[in-house]
Amino acid sequence: MSAAGFYALAGVALVVLGLYGLAVQAHLLRKLLAVNILGSGVFLVLVGLGGPADAGPDPVPHAMVITGIVVAVSATALGLVLMLKLTTTSGRPTLEDDAPREGPEA
C-alpha cells in the first residue's frame, strides 16, 4: 500500500474517534476537540485519496483542505464563545436534557 493509503486509513480512524468523542463526551470543550479531530480525519481522507500519484500531488484537495482548516478554526472560536456564554448562564459547560439533579453529589 502507498504512503497515502496509510494516511487515508488513519483519517478513517480519526473520523470514528471524533464521532465517538462527540457522542459520548459530556463536556462541550471536549466535544469541540472531537469535532476538530473528526475534521482532521476528513482532511486526511481527502488528501490521502488524491495523494502523490505519478503526475504529482493533486492541488485541488490541498486547496480545499486549507479552506477547511480556516473554516474549522472559525467554527471552533465561535463554539468556544458559545460554550463560555452557556456556562455563564447555566453554570455548567455541558448540554443536558434531563433536569439538573438537586442536592450534593457523592
Partner 1 sequence: MSLLQTGIDALLALGLVWLAWRALACPDLFRGIVLFIAFGLLMALAWVRLEAPDVALAEAAIGAGLTGALLLAALARLNRIAPAGTRADTREAWRNAPALLLVLAGAGLGLAVLSLLPEPAGLQAQVAAELGRSGVSNPVTAVLLNFRGYDTLLEVLVLLLALLAAWSLEAEPPRREAAPGPVLDLLLRLLLPVLVLAAAYLLWAGAHAPGGAFQAGAVLGAAGVLALLAGWRLQPHLTGLPLRLAIVIGPGGFLLVAWALLLTGRPLLEYPPALAGALILLIETLATLSIAATLAVLFQGSRPAAEPPA
> Restricting to residues 16-55, which ones interact with partner 1 according to CB under 8 A?
16-21, 23-27, 29-30, 32-34, 36-37, 40, 43-45, 47-53, 55
Residue 106 in grid coordinates? 457523592
Minimum CB–partner distance for residue 99 and partner 1 (Å): 15
Minimum CB–partner distance for residue 105 and partner 1 (Å): 9
Regarding 95 and contact with partner 1 (CB under 8 A), the answer is no
Positive or negative: CA dihedral 43, 48, 50, 52: positive
Regarding 92 and contact with partner 1 (CB under 8 A), the answer is yes
Name the residue type at position 32: L
Q: Which is nearer to partner 1, 77 or 102 (CB)?
A: 77
DSSP characters over 45-106 = HHHHHT--BTTB--HHHHHHHHHHHHHHHHHHHHHHHHHHHHHHHHS-SB--SSPPPPS---
Minimum CB–partner distance for residue 83 and partner 1 (Å): 7
